[in-house]
Structure 1
Amino acid sequence: MTRQISPHGLEKLKQWEGLKTKAYKDSGGVWTIGYGHTAMAGSPVPYQGQVITAAEAESILLKDLVQYEAAIENNVKVKLNDNQFAALVSFVYNIPLASFKKSKLLKKLNAGNFNAVPTELMKWTKAGGKKIQGLVNRRRAEGYLWMEGAFVTSKDVVPEQNTVHPVLKPEVIGPVISAASGLTGFATGSGPFQWALAVVIVIGVAIGSFYFLKRFREAEL
């Protein structure tokens, strides 16, 4: 049985296509109806004045998707997770299948370059030779779907519990507090010893402040 797009992926595709129950011409001048259905996908052939119900639009979409799901399954040679599969189904649903089969995207993906897919998707944003903002938005969204859930934590790995902000750890603020506390003694005396102590305190505060700020910046990244 041909692999099917996930419910999550299907909802995303429907959102990107948008539902139109009355036939219209898309940005390329092609008669379209339902969820982006055109004659390229098969029957019914959209025509001016055609009107369908939302249920009919869903039925047409599910029928159309079969060939695009099969195209991904038959042409992609690497293993895909559900979101990656859905992103590619959405992509080929929106372009000619022949173009997908000859695309650099497919070539790079089959070579194992998964990271190249979002960038390659962004090269398919034109219709009739003109860049279409709607396609730019869709390709970006498909790229996000491709990356969604790509990095997961193993069920055997317990996430680190970090309840103390790194900046507040003793080893970070200790030098600063210790150095600052010496200022009390310095303020109550004078002479060579106090001057020597002052130099040590200044150096200590400077070093402590440096590491404090360094850890703070690292913690905020």
Structure 2
Amino acid sequence: MTLSTSAAGRATLMAREGCRLTAYRDSVGVLTIGVGHTGRATLPRVTAGMMISQTDAEVIFASDLAPFEAAVNKAITRAATQNQFDAMVSLAFNIGSAGFHGSSVVRRFNAGDLGAAADAFLLWNKAGGRVVAGLAKRRAAERAQFLIGDPTQCDAACPPASLLKRLWLVLLTLHMTR
């Protein structure tokens, strides 16, 4: 079954990435604009000083998201919940399709070890070879998102509780990343 990112997943990913309408260099020096658009996945190519509208940013984001959804659907060999899929797309969007495909998140998920797959999100906390606090917080939020709806896999970082309490944890983590 082919999944697509849910509306909540898209909104969460947009919040994680942020939206900047003028090109800037990210933490490792890559020109970026809109919602994490680098021009690597889809056009347009990002140039220094480039400016776009909010509508342009949203259109580019929708276009950028499709290849990462396809990459996640191709990489996983077992059924995923919507939240698992959304979290994996968020990771793939940030680390690239090749990085995602070869990741321990995919290997552990495909092996059926959901707890280990969730923990593997936390390994992707570096940029340019160094740990980045913002990435560590993002990975914790993706891990929590992945575990929502699977109380058998929750631990102290994602306590077994009502769905609303777990959603609050995700939102709190997102707030901390800003």
TM-based fold match above 0.5: yes
Match of 1:111 in 2: 111
Q: How many residues align?
A: 152
Q: Which runs of 4+ in 1 moved over 4 A?
A: none
Give SS of 1:36's match.
coil
Query: Contact between 1:118 and 1:140, CA under 8 Å: does it hold in 2?
Result: no
Q: Does 1:64 align with 2:64?
A: yes
Q: 1:74: Cα distance to partner? A: 1.1
Structure with max Cα Rg: 1
How high is the TM-score relative to the length of structure 1?
A: 0.66
Map of 1:19 onto structure 2: 19
- Percent identical: 38
Residue in 2 aligned with 1:90? 90
In 1: Cα distance, 2:80 partner to 2:30 partner? 32
SS at match of 1:122: helix
RMSD value over aligned CA atoms? 1.5
Counterpart residue identity of residue 107, structure 1: R
Give the conservation status (yes or no) of the 8 Å contact 2:3–2:85: no
State the shift of 1:42 in Å. Answer: 2.0
* Bigger relative contact order (CA 8 A; separation at least 6): 2
Q: Does 1:31 align with 2:46?
A: no
Which structure 2 residue ranges, 5 or more long, are not aligned? 153-178
Asked if 2 retains the 8 angstrom alpha-carbon contact of 1:104 and 1:120, the reply is yes
More deviation, 28-37/117-126: 117-126
Q: What SS does the corresponding residue of 2:33 show, helix, strand or coil?
A: strand
**Which residue of structure 2 lines up, in the alignment, with residue 75 of structure 1?**
75
The answer as to whether partners of 2:25 and 2:32 remain within 8 angstroms in 1 is: yes
1:127-166 to 2 correspondence within 5 Å? Answer: 127-151=127-151
For 2:156, the equivalent position in structure 1 comes to: none
Determine the C-alpha separation between the residues in 2 that align with 1:96 and 1:148: 24
Match of 2:68, SS state, is: helix
Whole-angstrom distance in 2 between the partners of 1:2 and 1:49: 38
Note if contact 1:68-1:93 (Cα within 8 Å) is conserved in structure 2.
Answer: yes
